[in-house]
Amino acid sequence: MRTQVGIIGAGPAGLMLAHLLHLRGISSVVLEIRSRDYIEHRLRAGVLEQGAVDLLVESGVGERLQREGMVHEGVNLQFAGERHRVPMTELTGRAITVYGQQEVVKDLVAARLSAGEPILFEVSDVRLHGLDVDEPVVAFRHEGRDVELRCDVVAGCDGFHGVSRSAVPEGVLTTYERTYPFAWLGILAAAPPATNELVYCHSERGFALVSMRTPELSRLYLQVPPDENVAAWPDDRIWAELQARLAMADGWRLTEGEVLEKGVTAMRSLVVEPMQWRRLFLAGDAVHIVPPTGAKGMNLALADVKVLGEALAAWYADGRDDLLASYSDTCLRRVWRAQHFSWWMTSMLHRFPGHDPYEVKLQLSQLRYVTTSPAYARSLAENYVGIP
């Protein structure tokens, strides 16, 4: 097989890149180890920055997003039993949209299939060769056959556990990372969202988050110990803990409902630099991870491939390689801003095992400042809606 761009991974990064290239008349083949059904139903992130919404809409895949996405103009921070709203749109002119990552994936898969462009599911044994001589080949197995895909460029969009990153020789990449001493237990519940907008809650019992997917579905999270076993959390215990952490002086209570899904997400920060080696360009979770507290993971993945799509378009159309050469530096500026923001939100809102009462007082002081000072609130808001 031969194509211009070999794309490994059909998450938001790989699928969006394939779509942007198609719009520019550039051919690509998308390889995905999972099935279509699996990637379309995997429960992941759910908040789109304004820039990500604009990218989806402007590239023609935002129709359902505009119809079903829930636009939020504010976000709540709760601490010491009180809830404070940060009016994001008033402060920045922009908003966020709540729309599940798997919905973005569904829309992009549908666009790919209706364009009649190749996307191969359930491939296995994916290997990269020829990068050192600038003749990339992606070898893999598909439907019982060994296949070799020859391409000009490979886009490694295969997430944190993918293989692309490891095709880069030892010593080229530098990893910066941090793991946090807690995880998130997340549930999807058949319960109308108890609030109009998200609530990030600091409490003595640990962090809790109220989010949603639709007017009928709530998405809720609890800070739990790292490597927590979901079996330790029967539904009753989850609701009791959510109610305890989210309790407010005025007696407000969370709406409960049937728990449809349950899972534990590890919390880590990670950046691998540079995001390119020769003809291999890495994007999304393959090269950077953020803790979910800032809701930046999917947004960063989409932002990377917007830059990469434009750089590849300039290379194919005009033989320009300057945008490809600066791809990594351009993306890393946004990546590090999101790293700092996610780390900051995580540090401000969670209960850390080693924290003494002094550190808890500092967290509370910072929360009070960010919810009362327009200057500090604007900083939070502009990071949350996404810096253009």
Interacting residue with ligand APR among 18, 21, 31, 108 (CB under 6 A): 31
Annotate each residue in 124-163 with x if it binds ligand PHB (CB under 6 A) or - if it does not, as one string. Answer: ----------------------------------------
Interacting residue with ligand PHB among 5, 8, 47, 53 (CB under 6 A): 47
Question: Is 293 a binder of ligand PHB (CB under 6 A)?
Answer: yes
Closest CA to 274 of 260, 286, 265, 263: 286
Q: How far is the CB of 223 from ligand PHB (least distance, A)?
A: 12
Interacting residue with ligand APR among 21, 39, 151, 220 (CB under 6 A): 39
* 253: exposed, middle or buried (Cβ count in 10 Å: 0-12, 13-18, 19+): exposed
d(CA 298, CA 38): 18
Task: Give the range of 17-25, 33-41, 62-70, 114-122 binding ligand APR by CB under 6 A.
Answer: 33-41
Closest CA to 76 of 196, 212, 223, 219: 196
Which lies closer to ligand APR via its Cβ, residue 10 or residue 308? 10
* Neighbouring C-alpha atoms within 13 Å toward the C-beta of 268: 17
Q: Which does 53 bind (CB under 5 to 8 A by kind): ligand APR, ligand PHB, none?
A: none
**3-state secondary structure labels for all residues of 267-310:** EEEEEEECCEECCEEECHHHCEECCHHHCCHHHHHHHHHHHHHH
Q: Which residues contact 202 (CB under 8 A, 6 or more apart)?
A: 77, 78, 79, 80, 348, 349, 350, 363, 364, 367
Which lies closer to ligand APR via its Cβ, residue 189 or residue 290? 290
Task: Give the range of 58-66, 118-126, 272-280, 290-298 binding ligand PHB by CB under 6 A.
Answer: 290-298
Which lies closer to ligand PHB via its Cβ, residue 156 or residue 159? 159
Annotate each residue in 229-268 with x if it binds ligand PHB (CB under 6 A) or - if it does not, as one string. Answer: ----------------------------------------
Mapped onto helix, strand or coil, the DSSP state of residue 8 is strand
Q: Which does 69 bind (CB under 5 to 8 A by kind): ligand APR, ligand PHB, none?
A: none
Which lies closer to ligand APR via its Cβ, residue 301 or residue 370? 301
Q: How far is CA 347 from CA 176, 265, 381, in A?
A: 18, 17, 17
Q: How far is the CB of 138 from ligand APR (least distance, A)?
A: 9
Q: How far is CA 167 from CA 171, 274, 280, 287, 309, in A?
A: 12, 14, 9, 13, 22
> Do 50 and 93 meet the contact criterion of CB atoms below 8 Å apart?
no
Which residue matches tokens 């505009």? 66
d(CA 188, CA 169): 41
d(CA 384, CA 295): 8
Which lies closer to ligand APR via its Cβ, residue 186 or residue 284? 284
Angle made by CA atoms 45, 332, 319, in degrees to the nearest 5: 110
Question: Is 103 a binder of ligand APR (CB under 6 A)?
Answer: no
Annotate each residue in 291-330 with x if it binds ligand APR (CB under 6 A) or - if it does not, as one string. Answer: ------xx--x-----------------------------
Q: Which residues contact 159 (CB under 8 A, 6 or more apart)?
A: 9, 11, 284, 285, 286
Question: Is 13 a binder of ligand APR (CB under 6 A)?
Answer: yes
Question: Is 342 a binder of ligand PHB (CB under 6 A)?
Answer: no
Which residue matches tokens 């462009």? 117
* Residues that are catalytic: 72, 200, 292, 296, 384
Q: Which does 201 bind (CB under 5 to 8 A by kind): ligand APR, ligand PHB, none?
A: none
Interaction site with ligand APR (CB under 6 A): 8-14, 31-34, 39, 44-45, 101, 126, 157-159, 161-163, 284-285, 297-298, 301
